[in-house]
Amino acid sequence: MSLVYFLALIGVLVTIHEFGHFAAAKLLDFQVTTFSIGFGRPIFRVQLGDTDYRLGIVP
């Protein structure tokens, strides 16, 4: 069960880290076309405004 908790924690930390990049780009007035957690084929995808939000199959 510890491995499951570890992987969940890594997922949360990666999400926070990537959101930091996203927030910095927005604050500096960069156009953010894609915000993705993970890579590879998206298992979830939504377009809001000019940004394509994705959850990749590989974390």
Active site residue 18: yes
* Cβ atoms of 50 and 35 closer than 8 Å: no
The two beta strands, 39-48 and 34-37, are: unpaired
- Say which of 3, 13, 17, 18 is annotated catalytic: 18
**Which positions are catalytic?**
18
